Structure 1
Amino acid sequence: MANQIYVGVDLGGTSIKVGLCDENGQLLHKYEGPTLSEEGAEAVLDRIADYCRKAVEEAGYAWEQVAGVGAGIAGFLNIREGIVELSANLGWRDVPVKKSLEEKLGKTVKIDNDANVAALGEAWGGAGKGISNLICYTLGTGVGGGIILNGRIYQGFKGMAGELGHMSVVPDIEAIQCSCGQFGCLETVSSATGIIRMAKNAVERGEHTSLALLPKITAKDVFEAASAHDETAQRIVSRAAYYLGRSMAHLAAMLNPERFIVGGGVSHAGELLFVPVRETFDKYAPAPLKADVDIVPATLGNDAGCIGAAGLNLF
């Protein structure tokens, strides 16, 4: 049994996940409970403190063995001060999470963006273990990301680095407006939302595709249709993969990572997605910057957030 443990909190709009990790990033125990954000920020922070203590107790550790607590939160954060400036998921504005949880738990608390801590989780105990320079994509409803440079999360000027989904990669003639207000963002083509949009547009244009027979199209449906040699679905997957690979080539030129890790629901498409992504990356990345660089799926799944949050006090 570990002498010291690190507690990580993955705070979502629906649920709060708490993970206990040892110093090597191994997940020792998990606890999960509802967020109930409608009860207000203070009630949620009380709930987080309660869940942390319950997780430690359930795992058979003493509270004195906790070396630090970290929390991953979606939204705009003042990471250095530990304040959630705005979180639409939680309905929070200017909530001093660090100060409040330190008072409730009697431990050092650090916070970071949910995508950053997921990247740190993969770097510490997942697909990036042992690699100091990597970039992690999360392909879900949107496209999130995190950048690890020299073994540490790269946060940028205001702690907002790693917004990979908002790189402009689609040319103007093909670009549509993103939820961020700009045009041509990666998120518009390589997220589940973007893939579904392209599929619906194809059906509305009257293209001959099995997707037209479905009452509601999901990204999984598109990948399954592509596997079954549906030409429309194959074209959509190819487009999503192409721009994802192009974005990686841009990042390779700027940051020279050793590995790209891709997680989130869309990554479950497997080699149907990864093969064309790798081909595009190989085509567009400068030769010296693509040598020995690999593109791999994430391995931690939904545990990446709480594992990475636990690591905030080590990295």
Structure 2
Amino acid sequence: MSEKIYIGVDLGGTTVKLGICTEEGELLHKFEGPTDAEQGPETVLNRINEYSRALVGNSSFSWDQVAGVGAGIPGFMDIAEGFVKLSPNFPGFVNVPVKKGLEERFGKPVKINNDANVAVLGEAWAGAGKGVSTLVCYTLGTGVGGGVIVDGRLCTGFAGMAGELGHMQIVPDLEAIQCGCGQYGCLETVSSATGIIRMATDAVERGDSTTLTELGSITAKDVFDAAKAGDEVACRIVNRAAYYLGRAMAAVAVVINPQRFIVGGGVSAAGDVLLDPVREVFKKYTTNKANEGVEIVRAQLGNSAGVVGAAGLMLRG
């Protein structure tokens, strides 16, 4: 067993997930507790410190064996300087020196990154991307996140904005609606759970003939289940979400030329009813050299991806 251990922190709006990983990316222990985000940045940093020490204290390891701590945080940040510039779901998280604050509490080196980026790193290190040097990951949930690994390293870009795949403006103007980011036609508006639910709700309100009208509150899972059962409206919605995801991947492929695309997040649970049409669209809109040997697969680590990837920031971030 590795003598050095790495702590990964996946900071969520209501819950902090933490884990201990080896140098090989094996997740050994997990812990989670309330974020208490409404109490402000200092409280959140204190909670991370308390939980990390409890995690190690309840394991067979000592604090001296901790080689570093990585944290995945939702929002916009200055990664190099370790500042969270803005995290909309965390009151008061504006220009917060998270790296410095945690290093003072831990007495250990700390790296931070966007939560979607660390989930990608987790999949690349120990999940569906293990052994692949260049890959792109999409996380389809409430929104669409993503990240890019090139030659084994996380690509963050000049201002830390690389991998914001959900905000590629892919939907034509006449069909585009405004995204939460303020722009129009983002992938997130059609291929996220939110986008799928919106399209289904619109169909019901228009009076389209669909079994979805029998449901009081529609979820993305409802739409996929209806599509699997042959509901034409649900199939149309799923195919539209898949179409724009496949088109977005085709655009990325000629820039990055990844060996593998990984699709994670709650929407990915739909499986091949979503991924099969994505694969068809991707192949249609790329040249042979850009799609030859390229795989589009589901993520493997589930809710542990962020914790594993955050720990991996110390080695591969």
TM-score (norm 2): 0.98
- Give runs of aligned pairs for residues 22-41 of structure 1, distance below 5 A: 22-41=22-41
Deviation for aligned residue 1:224: 0.5
- For 1:314, the equivalent position in structure 2 comes to 315
**Is the counterpart of residue 175 in structure 1 residue 187 in structure 2?**
no
Partner AA of 1:249 in structure 2: A
Deviation for aligned residue 1:80: 0.5
Deviation for aligned residue 1:204: 1.1
CA–CA distance in structure 1, aligned partners of residues 160 and 178 of structure 2: 25
- For 1:215, the equivalent position in structure 2 comes to 216
What SS does structure 2 have at the residue aligned with 1:59? coil
- For 1:248, the equivalent position in structure 2 comes to 249
**Is the counterpart of residue 78 in structure 1 residue 87 in structure 2?**
no
Deviation for aligned residue 1:59: 1.6
Sequence identity percentage: 65
Deviation for aligned residue 1:149: 0.7
- For 1:269, the equivalent position in structure 2 comes to 270
Structure 2: gaps spanning 5 or more residues: none
- For 2:201, the equivalent position in structure 1 comes to 200
CA–CA distance in structure 2, aligned partners of residues 51 and 60 of structure 1: 16
CA–CA distance in structure 1, aligned partners of residues 152 and 247 of structure 2: 25
CA–CA distance in structure 2, aligned partners of residues 172 and 94 of structure 1: 34
Deviation for aligned residue 1:2: 2.4
CA–CA distance in structure 2, aligned partners of residues 244 and 172 of structure 1: 17
- For 2:6, the equivalent position in structure 1 comes to 6
- For 1:108, the equivalent position in structure 2 comes to 109
- Give runs of aligned pairs for residues 36-47 of structure 1, distance below 5 A: 36-47=36-47
CA–CA distance in structure 1, aligned partners of residues 38 and 180 of structure 2: 25
- For 2:69, the equivalent position in structure 1 comes to 69
- Give runs of aligned pairs for residues 53-64 of structure 1, distance below 5 A: 53-64=53-64
CA–CA distance in structure 2, aligned partners of residues 212 and 51 of structure 1: 45
**Is the counterpart of residue 184 in structure 1 residue 179 in structure 2?**
no
CA–CA distance in structure 1, aligned partners of residues 285 and 40 of structure 2: 48
CA–CA distance in structure 2, aligned partners of residues 59 and 291 of structure 1: 46
CA–CA distance in structure 2, aligned partners of residues 79 and 169 of structure 1: 27
Deviation for aligned residue 1:136: 0.5
CA–CA distance in structure 2, aligned partners of residues 25 and 89 of structure 1: 29
Partner AA of 2:297 in structure 1: V
CA–CA distance in structure 2, aligned partners of residues 185 and 39 of structure 1: 33
- For 1:137, the equivalent position in structure 2 comes to 138
CA–CA distance in structure 1, aligned partners of residues 311 and 66 of structure 2: 10
Partner AA of 1:236 in structure 2: I
Deviation for aligned residue 1:138: 0.3
**Is the counterpart of residue 303 in structure 1 residue 304 in structure 2?**
yes
CA–CA distance in structure 1, aligned partners of residues 124 and 245 of structure 2: 20
**Is the counterpart of residue 96 in structure 1 residue 97 in structure 2?**
yes
CA–CA distance in structure 2, aligned partners of residues 178 and 44 of structure 1: 29
What SS does structure 2 have at the residue aligned with 1:32? strand
Cα deviations by residue, 1:11-59 (Å, 9 ceiling, x for unpaired): 1110111111011111011010000112221111111011111111212
Partner AA of 1:41 in structure 2: P
What SS does structure 2 have at the residue aligned with 1:159? coil
- For 1:17, the equivalent position in structure 2 comes to 17
CA–CA distance in structure 1, aligned partners of residues 158 and 178 of structure 2: 26
Partner AA of 1:52 in structure 2: S
- For 1:224, the equivalent position in structure 2 comes to 225
CA–CA distance in structure 2, aligned partners of residues 182 and 100 of structure 1: 34
- For 1:284, the equivalent position in structure 2 comes to 285
CA–CA distance in structure 2, aligned partners of residues 68 and 173 of structure 1: 49
- For 1:160, the equivalent position in structure 2 comes to 161
CA–CA distance in structure 2, aligned partners of residues 44 and 233 of structure 1: 41
CA–CA distance in structure 2, aligned partners of residues 219 and 13 of structure 1: 21
Range with greater deviation from structure 2 (37-46 or 265-274): 37-46
Structure 1: gaps spanning 5 or more residues: none
CA–CA distance in structure 2, aligned partners of residues 264 and 76 of structure 1: 20
Aligned residues: 315
Partner AA of 2:164 in structure 1: E
